[in-house]
Amino acid sequence: MTEAGTKQKKDLRYHSLDFWRGIACLSVAAFHSIDYVAENPAHVHGNALSHQIFVLLAQGWAGVPLFFVISGYCIAAACESGMEKGLTTKKYFFRRFRRIYPPYWILLLLLIGAHYLFLVCRGADYFADSIQPMKTPWEMSFPQWLGSFSLTEGWRDHLVGDQGHYFLQSAWSLGYEEQFYFVCGLAMLAGRKWFYKIMAWLSVVVFAIAFIHFVVKPLPIEGFFFDGDWLMFAAGVLVFYVLQFGNERSRKWAIALLAAAALLAIALDHHKHIYAVRQMPVSFLFGIVLIVLFKRDRQIASSTFLRPVTFCGIMCYSLYLIHMPIVKITSQFLYRAGLNGEWSTLFVTIPVSVLVSILAAWGFFSLVERRFLNTPPSYPTKPTTPKSVPQEMPVPVNA
């Protein structure tokens, strides 16, 4: 990346990102809907077709690297707009804090209440059964609570306390998101002249650290942004830069760079079989998809056929936050009710679990999340006049 030119596009938004957020959220929700299937003999001994479908659904974790790329694009857009308008770093951090933490804290309190409600009314905590149990409130230590509420639990145990464990397991990705936002906020202090150069050089440094960690010698860096996950976020920053300030040639170079990075990550995963590395090709290839499909952006965003998925993307932060406990209870209830065959799981359990999650997310979005939006939600329309304000990222971002 080089210094941005003086000419800017009037519209920093990528309008169809809500659609891709919806895809990411729904894939993660479907992924967590098959936890009980993993214990189902029909899954293990079912026919070849159903087994392959379950194998495909088990790749739903790929929604998280999609979120990281989308976050990279949206935060780069927010930083660009903020630097152009003279937004202070203090204001930037306040907007990020207000957007992420209050809804997350409210969901944690609701989840704690649900744990106790199950125990008091039913005599058993249905979140803490033997299949992918969620840790109960009374099992959490004070450092774990502190790390969970502050979204530092991914790396907190490197400094103090016992082993890290998020109370809401899917919050691990939010911990990375907060680090990404923090780094970008600091880079804003250098101004537009240096912002993208800092992003580029930081990516080179992180690549070197990650290479040493995965290939040469493991380092105690798990949970920190420089353990390699920054590169997925940086892919989104690269996409933003070449779409807003680049030309056709620079976009081709960006595609080539992302393709080379994806091939390198695939080769490393094949050799080492590391889950963290397995996410990277997804993000790099998705970056290529965003560059190629940018010319179809408005068409995808305004598609009536795609609108249900786009609607899920608009409230994706709520859906990401709330889906795991909802899916666990719903899929557990149906499993115990006898819907544990391969086809009943595919055609009843998974769709019902995802649908209930969407309804719960819509309620949470309407009552809680929308009160903390920095800008009003943007619903898909056929825009006639470009807007100049970048869309805020309702980060899930992470399974």
What average pLDDT score do residues 200-223 get? 94
One-letter amino acid at 108 equals L
pLDDT tier, 325 (very low <50, low <70, confident <90, very high otherwise)? very high
CA distance 317 to 173: 12
User: Does residue 90 lie in a domain region?
Assistant: yes
Q: Which residue has the higher pLDDT, 62 or 6?
A: 62
Q: Which residues contact 241 (CB under 8 A, 6 or more apart)?
A: 1, 4, 76, 196
pLDDT number for residue 305: 94
Instruction: Inform me whether the pLDDT recorded for 301 exceeds 70.
Output: yes
Task: Categorize the per-residue pLDDT at 42 as very low, low, confident or very high, splitting at 50, 70 and 90.
Answer: low
Task: Give domain status of residue 380, yes or no.
Answer: no
Q: Which residue has the higher pLDDT, 116 or 44?
A: 116
Q: Looking at the 3D structure of the chain, how many domains does it have?
A: 1
Contact 137, 108 (CB under 8 A): no
In a domain, 11, yes or no: no
- The range of the structural domain enclosing residue 243 comes to 17-372
* pLDDT tens, position by position, 143-170: 999 999 999 999 999 998 888 999 999 9
Residue 122 lies in a domain: yes
pLDDT of residue 45: 60
Determine how many CB atoms are found less than 10 A away from the CB of residue 17. 27
| 392 located within any domain | no
Look up residue 329 and give its two tokens.
Answer: 């209870």
pTM of structure: 0.90
**Structural domain includes residue 397:** no
- Rounded percentage of the chain residues whose pLDDT exceeds 90: 68
pLDDT tens-digit readout, 334-390: 988 888 878 888 899 999 999 999 999 999 999 999 999 987 776 555 555 444 444
399 in any annotated domain: no
Q: In the numeric block, which tokens belong to residue 120?
A: 């008091």
Q: Which of 49-53, 101-105, 335-339, 348-352 has the lowest mean pLDDT?
A: 49-53
